[in-house]
Amino acid sequence: MKAFNKIAVIGKYPSIEESSDIHDQLIQLVGHLSQKPFELYIEEKTQKQINLDGVQSIALKDIGSKVDLAIIVGGDGTLIGVARNMVHSDTPLIGVNQGRFGFLADLNTNSMFSNIDTILNGEFIEDKRMLINTKIMRGNKKVYESLSLNDVVIKSGVRLIELDVIINDAFVHRQRSDGIIVSTPTGTTAYALSAGGPILHPNLDAISIVPISPHTLSNRPIAVNAGSQINIKIINMNEAYASIDGQIKFPLDIRDVIQISKAKESISILHPKDYCYFEMLRNKLNWG
């Protein structure tokens, strides 16, 4: 059983003021945790907005090295942003959902105290999630690199973009489309799903490749082993960018090759003992 001694609480970005519900939930959660025998921190930007006295603040960049557990109140986007900042630590995350879907931040605010208490008592499921690493090469020079928990999206601006897809040095196809999504199993319930991609169970060691509105309808989503090296070469474009988890945009050049592979790092999300991935899908996607 994992022991937790130091806990950090993190609120929604960029502004907690966007939702009074999140503000209230944060204050209640901090009050609840303050009565327990843990060393409690509030992420510094969160602290500035809820302005609670008597609880020490901590920079987001320091949380991974100084605490045993991070509790995020917001939605999946908030959790994903925090996870990328903490990916080099082994600090597990708990997500309290204040967003629309909550595929990752799965704790309901109505029962968050009892669920969090259960997890703190050592009764939980540890859910390891893979990440992908993206490098953008311009000639022989690396101009950008980032990790993604959900996906990397190569997206055109105004007109179609033409791309070559190469997997393990084998040419797959050339496509003209609005772009392409390369997704982890976690990300298959995000943008890739709305683009017609498959849902991959998080335990699968796989990566999905999903075209966005392809000009040729025979271009279909595929899934490959996560150990594959995926290269996307820009052949023709007017304007395009790479989007990391929908949160970071990097402008692309006609000379660019986007190299995507499974990252060495992973993140850990803690769920209550009764968590079931398929039940979550039924609830979030309104399956019968």
For the chain, give the DSSP string: -----EEEEEPPSS-GGG-HHHHHHHHHHHHHHHTSSSEEEEEHHHHHHH--TTSEEE-HHHHHHH-SEEEEEE-HHHHHHHHHHTTTS---EEEEE-SS--SSS-B-GGGHHHHHHHHHTT-EEEEEEEEEEEEEEETTEEEEEEEESSEEEEEESSS-EEEEEEETTEEEEEEEESEEEEE-TGGGGTHHHHTTPPP--TTS-EEEEEEES-SSTT---EEEETT--EEEEEEE-SSEEEEETTTEEEE--TTEEEEEEEEEEEEEEEEETT--HHHHHHHHHT--
Q: Is 178 labeled as catalytic in the residue annotation?
A: no
Does the CA dihedral 156-159-164-167 come out positive or negative? positive
Tokens 């797959």 sit at which residue? Answer: 172
Q: Which of 65, 107, 83 is nearest to 10 (CA)?
A: 83
Report d(CA 51, CA 67) in Å as an integer. 21
Kind of pairing between the strands at 39-43 and 56-58? parallel
Does the CA dihedral 12-64-108-52 come out positive or negative? negative
Catalytic residue among 21, 62, 76, 90: 76
Q: Which are the catalytic amino acids? A: 76
